[in-house]
Amino acid sequence: MSERVAVTGAGVVTPIGAGYESFRDGLRSGRSGVGRIRAFDCAGLSTQIAAEVDHRQGDLSAWVEPRTSAKLMSRAAMFAAAAAAMARRQALLGRDGVDPRRLGVVVGAGGMGPTDLDLLATQAQAAIDAAREVGTGRWDVPTFARLFTERTNPIATLRGLPNLAAAQLAIQHDARGPNATITTACCAGTQAIGEGLRLIQRGDADVVLAGGTDAAVNPVAVLGFSLLGTLSRCNAEPGRASRPFDRQRDGFVIGEGAGFVVLERESFAQARGAPVLAELAGYGVTCDAYRITDERPDAAEAAHAISLGLRDAEMEPRDLGYINAHGTGTRMNDITETRAIRLSLGAHAADVPVSSTKSMIGHLLAAAGAVELAATLIALTEGFLPPTINLEDPDEECDLDYVPNVARAASPTAALSTSFGFGGQNACLVIRRW
């Protein structure tokens, strides 16, 4: 029998708190992290709300090493550095605790729009000034190129690389083993952790820092998702905007942040006496192969991903005591996901509590699955299930137990977290008490 894989640390940067304890307390109290957008002037936009990480979460650059790295980091890379460092600290894995070549990194990253607001502003201003200078009012590349070159610090352009966060983590942690970036949109964080599990099972690494990060509270992403009709416009009451499974929902709320876990081969963790939070027991991944933004109405492949995860964990549906849903708060997701859970769990579906922590922290896109795995770990180890807040008028097509509005005391022995992405990728992770 192959060795198990232990989760020995978890670190998060979220709109309701940075760090495991702060996030746990936020989940327990059912607090919303959604507010009016502060990152830029959102006046006139159809959506003016987001779940942002702000100064209340502390100076995240303090987690970054070496010190010069911070200026090369996108906001998402900074979140990743902080969350990963927190996870490693919780795992009590010191600098010399692992052979650098046996330490891997897998990051879910890359969202919609630019990664750097300053760079976007520089580009936009150069385009405007170029049009003014040429006098035609049209996009003039040669003039734009000259202005952009004059005004842009070369290092700012580096922040746009999708693999930057993974590279920075490798430098900070001297991780010279496998290093990968997964860019499957809203599914990326879950897939990154699943592929981290596989790296260890294949014998390619002893320890993997795996997670996801995203920082899409920028005008291009907000406008882009608005054009696609996916964002809530509940500007008047931000705290009530994210309402998965509720009949009054009108789309998701963009969130930002990062989640990372430390994964270790069982014998490695035991040999160093590591504190173990849980076993990462299973991973299932499929693709709808259907349409870019529509999910398969019958939810067959989403359900199959859940079945694969359970099979990978050698578990039956009745073993599950909690599901952290993708639960975006779009009508299509909520109904299809409910169907997928019914299809994969059969009669047991009605008995499993399912909640969407996106009701509190919004949709963290490429980071969502990783932060939600951290929430699932908390459900497994802290004696309570995080609620789905704002669930006041349940959609009749969503007929599971969604842990409405208040956290519930419970001690599940195994739990599942799901993620589904634009593009049709479906993935889930299964964790179990150690």
Partner 1 sequence: MPGDSPLVGGRPLPEVVRRIIADVLVVALEEVQPGKGLVRDLGAESIDFMDLVFRLEDALECQIPFPRWQRFIEATLEGQDLAVAITPEVVQLFAERELAGA
Q: Is the peptide bond before 66 cis (omega within 30 degrees of 0)?
A: yes
- Cα gap 301→256, rounded to integer Å: 28
| 29 vs 61 by CB, closer to partner 1 | 61
| 85 vs 158 by CB, closer to partner 1 | 158
| 72 vs 220 by CB, closer to partner 1 | 72
Kindly tell me which residue out of 59, 68, 95, 236 binds partner 1, with binding defined by CB under 8 A.
Answer: 68
CB 318 within 8 A of CB 380: no
How many residues sit close enough to partner 1 to count as binding (CB under 8 A)? 11
Task: Give the count of beta carbons closer than 10 Å to the beta carbon of residue 433.
Answer: 16
- 363 has catalytic annotation: yes
- Nearest approach, Cβ of 149 to partner 1 (angstroms)? 9
- Nearest approach, Cβ of 61 to partner 1 (angstroms)? 10
Residue 77 has which token pair? Answer: 């890379």
| 55 vs 68 by CB, closer to partner 1 | 68
- 187 has catalytic annotation: no
- Nearest approach, Cβ of 143 to partner 1 (angstroms)? 15
Segment near partner 1 (CB under 8 A); pick from 69-77, 97-105, 273-281, 330-338: 69-77
Interaction residues for partner 1, span 131-170 (CB under 8 A): 150, 153-155, 158
Which residue out of 187, 363, 398, 428 is catalytically annotated? 363
Q: Quick one: which of 301, 388, 291, 401 has its CA closest to 344?
A: 301
Q: Does 70 bind partner 1 (CB under 8 A)?
A: yes
- 348 has catalytic annotation: no
Kindly tell me which residue out of 71, 132, 311, 318 binds partner 1, with binding defined by CB under 8 A.
Answer: 71
* Half-sphere exposure for 91 (CA within 13 Å, toward CB): 30
Tokens 């040669």 sit on residue: 142
| 153 vs 270 by CB, closer to partner 1 | 153
| 71 vs 311 by CB, closer to partner 1 | 71
Q: Which long-range contacts (CB under 8 A, 24 or more apart) does 270-273 make?
A: 272/93, 272/97
- Nearest approach, Cβ of 68 to partner 1 (angstroms)? 5
Segment near partner 1 (CB under 8 A); pick from 61-69, 116-124, 194-202, 404-412: 61-69
| 72 vs 134 by CB, closer to partner 1 | 72
Which residue out of 186, 187, 398, 428 is catalytically annotated? 186
- CA 276 and chain centroid, separation: 22
- Nearest approach, Cβ of 64 to partner 1 (angstroms)? 10
What is the number of residues in the chain? 434
* DSSP symbol at 200: H
Kindly tell me which residue out of 1, 44, 55, 66 binds partner 1, with binding defined by CB under 8 A.
Answer: 66
DSSP secondary structure letters along 228-284: TT-B---TT-GGGT--TTBTT---B-BBEEEEEEEEEEHHHHHHTT----EEEEEEE
Helix (H, G, I), strand (E, B) or coil at 114: coil
Which residue out of 173, 187, 326, 398 is catalytically annotated? 326
- Cα gap 39→179, rounded to integer Å: 31
- Cα gap 142→215, rounded to integer Å: 31
Mode of pairing for the β-strands spanning 49-51 and 34-36: antiparallel
Kindly tell me which residue out of 55, 67, 95, 138 binds partner 1, with binding defined by CB under 8 A.
Answer: 67
Q: Quick one: which of 94, 32, 113, 106 has its CA closest to 362?
A: 32
Q: Does 101 bind partner 1 (CB under 8 A)?
A: no
- Nearest approach, Cβ of 148 to partner 1 (angstroms)? 13
Can you say whether the dihedral through the CA atoms of 423, 366, 253, 239 is positive or negative? positive
- Nearest approach, Cβ of 140 to partner 1 (angstroms)? 20
Can you say whether the dihedral through the CA atoms of 195, 200, 205, 211 is positive or negative? positive
Catalytic residue list: 186, 326, 363
Residues that bind partner 1 (CB under 8 A): 66-68, 70-72, 150, 153-155, 158
